[in-house]
Structure 1
């Protein structure tokens, strides 16, 4: 009996010792587990922070210019990203790819043209004018602010002259003039869009941006800056034009087709001068402001330098779809890709003409 009692006490004592050992072991393992897990947690935090840092760095690296906002930046507007093709070459050069055959065929059918090939005409053209320099295109280290100035009479309702001139590049088009209208339209011009039938003389230092609607237009700019032999296209045109030969830019026919396909979406036979100028600016500039598009506040259609008795004359051109183009420009504004002036909540009667 005494032996059984001693055995029970011994077993109890052993049980207590085992429980104490087990508890100690568990606590020790928990401590070790914590010590092991802590570095893992720290490592995960370091990796996460590094990944986030890389993402921020990549975001900065992908910033397409040094402005606060850049037209070509991706991820801001899905609508814009679906249409904007950064690989497009806006103007003709002596280097790079040939004009796309499908785009060329479409372009040659726009207006009555002449015999010959575009390669032959371009070769002769670049013996008279200088190829545009590479720096004309966008550079990540630069901030190019551009004002695209249309010719609408609505410019007379505002005094945007100083705002327009504050841009690093100012686009004007066709017969646009500034003398006597400086407080409304400014007096700075860096690039002037024209075609033979709308040609004007330019001041030294201003880029002549030719919008060629036919092969004859390329021949005209060659002639107008040299021999003056071409006197007509489908109408009488300016035989010679004053402009710097080393500052001529000829818009690529492929760029016409790209604008027609991606932006005006086949509305109209081909895009208007005003629409082409804006899309051109989207590819050349980092920030784009647009002035002087549409009817004036009374709904009249006229250029700001003239009184037009026929206020509706510019609304329907027969080849452009002004209503659809105005929707695209308004959309560019609401998507934050351009700044449209005047800054009003609704762009009433916004139609385009050059």
Structure 2
């Protein structure tokens, strides 16, 4: 009897040990396979390769067949079966989670190679130069989101990834986005003998009220505008040319309603204008689905037809959606806020104006910023179009305005941008 009992115990113990070994192996393989997007890691040989990834993923590596090197440098081809990772929830993290692949981004090797002598590549600011990725993938479009990429991006909160979202809800919208005819947003003007692209980025700050900067702004090759880009009646201060309009679904929709009393009835609709959308959250992908299918949106914008806001000027070949990697790269390398280390970590993101300015820095050679927040912002109204009823800047918790003030000033002092500041105030400071 005792021998039989001992035999049973031995068998049970062996089964438990076998289960533990198998589960450990499976779980390790699964963990390794979901972390780095298209580059699958399912054994020790490829795990070594994982630790050597330092900068970016290549857009050209998409597919489900993977080629990697073993310890003897032999190429091995493998078919990978991928399933979505379990949903990660923001509430389960007390601060921004940091993954081994946090600073790994897609790169576009067809990106513009500037010839301008004043290009950012030639900046003397070594820290900026080290942080800069000239080939960062700017655009999200059909073909750039599959299960493997989803598993990578699902580790990051919106708008930097797809944490808490459902794969199918997002993919159905992404698959409607056309691949841009060119990775280059703006071509070098034919009149630019030095090969330089000169851009103005115009925010909505009250510092532009009575600034008389309109002609100077319009003298640039291209003009970027964001959010409630009111022009009619304010041309003398902000110009009347718009080459690129940067927005989220909510900023486009809400600013027309909120600022209608100031004369804001339509978004900029210049001939040849490029529309760039920041995918802020799930509602943006719901908006995208309605926009690109010419139907009413679902979810937060149920009953709204996004296409009507373009007044017949919408053209898919001139419509772009920023890639979450670009947004996360801007936050991580240029605008890391202390807020990311607290309980409200998931709420923080740079402003739309910040993303627009950095988009210009990755698109143009010479960038001048107007209407951006400065140290003396309290002297001006919140918006340049508030001529009679003036409001103050509200420091919302989802942005770090103090950080942006410092960054714009630092970029200006380093000669990376030229930040418009009221001349009368600069003169007082000097005296």
* TM norm structure 1: 0.69
**Partner residue of 1:302 out of 382, 403, 406:** 382
CA drift at 1:152: 0.9
Q: Could you tell me how far 1:297 is from its partner in structure 2?
A: 6.7
Q: Deviations over 1:288-344 (max 9, x none)?
A: 1100112777623321123585733x3311111000111111111111111111265
Mapping for residues 70-219 of structure 1, pairs under 5 Å = 70-73=119-122, 76-94=124-142, 101-108=151-158, 115-117=166-168, 118-126=170-178, 131-136=180-185, 142-199=195-252, 200-203=266-269, 204-219=271-286
Is residue 2:304 matched to residue 1:224? Answer: no
Tell me if the contact between 2:173 and 2:285 (Cα under 8 Å) persists in the aligned partners. Answer: yes
Q: Per the alignment, in what secondary structure is the counterpart of residue 279 of structure 1?
A: helix
Q: Which residue of 2 aligns with 1:338?
A: 417
Conserved 8 A contact 1:291-1:340: yes
Alignment of 1:315 with 2:388, yes or no, is no
Give structure 2 stretches of 5+ with no counterpart: 1-112, 253-265, 340-347
Distance 1:236 1:347 in 2: 49
Cα deviation for residue 187 of structure 1 reads 0.5
Higher relative contact order (CA closer than 8 Å, sequence separation 6+): 1
Shift in Å, 1:267: 4.1
Question: Does structure 2 retain, via aligned residues, the 8 Å contact 1:194–1:210?
Answer: yes
Structure with greater Cα Rg:
1
The separation in 2 between residues aligned to 1:278 and 1:84, in whole angstroms, is: 14
Q: How does 1:266-277 map to 2 (within 5 A)?
A: 266-268=337-339, 269-277=348-356
Q: Gapped runs of 5+ residues in structure 1?
A: 1-63, 349-354
- Does the 8 Å contact 2:172/2:289 carry over to 1? no
Which sits farther off after the overlay, 270-279 or 334-343?
334-343
Alignment of 1:63-74 (within 5 A): 65-73=114-122
Contact 1:107 1:256 in 2 (8 A): no
Q: Is the 8 A contact 1:71 1:337 kept in 2?
A: yes
CA distance in 1, matches of 2:116, 2:424: 25
- 1:301 touches 1:315 (CA, 8 Å); kept in 2? no
Distance across 2 between alignment mates of 1:138 and 1:93? 20
Deviates more, 1:163-172 or 1:301-310: 301-310
After the TM superposition, which residues 213-292 of structure 1 pair with which residues of structure 2 at under 5 Å, given as runs? 213-230=280-297, 233=300, 239-240=306-307, 241-242=309-310, 243-268=314-339, 269-292=348-371
- Let me know the Cα RMSD of the aligned residues: 3.4
Name 2:257's counterpart in structure 1.
Answer: none
Q: Distance in 1 between the 2:395 and 2:296 partners?
A: 34
Going from structure 1 to structure 2, the CA distance change for 1:262 and 1:138 (only over 3 Å counts) comes to farther
Measured in 2, the distance between the counterparts of 1:226 and 1:144 equals 34
Distance 2:425 2:380 in 1: 17
Distance 1:236 1:173 in 2: 25
**Contact 2:296/2:306, CA 8 A, preserved across alignment:** yes
Task: Please state how far the C-alpha of 1:287 moved relative to its aligned partner.
Answer: 0.8
Question: Post-superposition shift, 1:179?
Answer: 0.9
Contact 2:198–2:364 under 8 Å retained in 1: yes
Given that 1:172 and 1:192 are in contact with CA atoms closer than 8 Å, whether structure 2 keeps it comes out as yes
Mapping for residues 26-45 of structure 1, pairs under 5 Å: none
- Flag the 1:144–1:216 CA change in 2: closer, same or farther, 3 A: same
Contact kept in structure 2, 1:267 and 1:320, CA below 8 Å: no
Paired with 1:343 and 1:306, the residues of 2 have a C-alpha distance of 17
- 1:149-208 deviation line (CA, Å, top 9, x unaligned): 000111123111111111111100111111111111010001001111122544142111
